[in-house]
Amino acid sequence: MKFVDEVKIHIKAGDGGRGCLSFRREKFVAMGGPDGGDGGHGGNVYFRVTSSLSTLLDFRYKVHYKAGRGGHGLGKTMHGKNGESLIIQVPPGTLVYDEETGELLADLTEPDQELLMLKGGMGGRGNARFATSTNRAPRHTQPGTPGEERTLRLQLKLLADVGLVGMPNAGKSTLISKVSAAKPKIADYPFTTLVPNLGVVRYGGFKTFVMADIPGLIQGASEGHGLGTRFLRHVERTDLFLHLVDLSMMQEGEPLENFAIINRELERHNPEMLRKPQLVVLTKMDITEVREQAPEIEAHFREKGYPVFAISAATGEGVDELVIEIGKQLETLRAPKDETPAEPWSP
């Protein structure tokens, strides 16, 4: 399925129906008087969050959305039918912006969350409403008011607990495919991953967390270089980063410098991202030269205060221990600040 994370749509609430101009004409009822009914109200437009959607793909094929208009008033003081409201379903993590002003209107994150976005027009009053003691046969009615309309920009930020960051080809896709049911494309060339991938990781029996893999970052990603500028926002909501560091000869540049480059790009995109906890993961430990230089690199990161894990996603070495530690870190982060954290799960 194609991944779409930003679209522009036009929505319009229903117009109100016009009031009716009518007079009662019935046998044996002389001069029955005005009996024009009011018009119906136009339908509203709502946004509703549904977990069954994961992208904004549907909005690529339909751009214009309109609620039902109100029915016109009828004789015998019959009220026009109210227009049918429109409910637009969006995936969790959808941001709604006004396209003209750029104002953020809503951040829709909770399943089944519903938001009234536009109100329908009011129905016009029929001539029966204007009868008075001095004007017994009014011929005046009101038209319905138009429904609200606006052009919106929808932007998706994935909801995940753990974000994978690192240089291209650092092993992010291999890791997420190892610990979850996600099946990203894996190959031995940079930028194999072209779209974000989400995977649900199980630990401790029935406990789970969601891991997000975004396309690899390079220097200048926050300025539009590579693919990172478009997808960095998908890890803004994560609680924890796994920073994958590739020590193999296949990775260009020095590992420590690459680590610093990625963190600079995260900070330039959003300084808050660098305040999130990071676990350093040394990858590809099944390669001999990687295993030989790992102790020195690991010591450097530990001096800086980073928890370090050495893994091989290909063979599974160290992966279970990493997943257990991620679970412990998330449980600690989610514990209420005014309470003692629950005892982390351990096998």
Same domain, 140 and 168: no
Instruction: Render pLDDT for 103-151 as a digit per residue (tens, 0 to 9).
Output: 999 999 998 999 999 999 999 999 999 999 899 899 999 999 999 999 9
User: Please, are residues 41 and 136 in contact by the beta-carbon 8 Å criterion?
Assistant: no
Q: How far apart are CA 176 and CA 242, in angstroms?
A: 11
Chain CA centroid to CA 76, Å: 49
Same domain, 210 and 246: yes
Within 8 A by CB and 6+ apart from 143, the residues are 16, 18, 19, 39, 124
Q: How far apart are CA 252 and CA 54, in angstroms?
A: 34
246 domain residue, yes or no: yes
Instruction: Render pLDDT for 46-90 as a digit per residue (tens, 0 to 9).
Output: 999 998 888 898 898 899 999 999 999 999 999 999 999 999 999
342 domain residue, yes or no: no
Same domain, 143 and 173: no
Same domain, 142 and 201: no
Could you tell me the end-to-end alpha-carbon distance of the chain, in angstroms, rounded to an integer?
37
Question: Which of 105, 135, 156 finishes a domain?
Answer: 156
More confident call, 345 vs 267: 267
Instruction: Render pLDDT for 6-58 as a digit per residue (tens, 0 to 9).
Output: 899 999 999 999 999 999 888 887 778 899 999 999 999 999 999 888 889 88
Same domain, 219 and 113: no
The answer, yes or no, to whether residue 189 has pLDDT greater than 50, is no
Instruction: Centre a 10 Å sphere on the Cβ of residue 113 and count the other Cβ atoms it contains.
Output: 16
Alpha-carbon distances, residue 117 vs 89, 103, 317 (angstroms): 12, 14, 50
Question: Which of 156, 179, 205 finishes a domain?
Answer: 156
User: Please, are residues 186 and 36 in contact by the beta-carbon 8 Å criterion?
Assistant: no
Question: Which of 139, 156, 173 finishes a domain?
Answer: 156
Mean pLDDT of the chain: 85
Q: What is the pTM of this model?
A: 0.74
Q: Which structural domain range is residue 140 located in?
A: 1-156
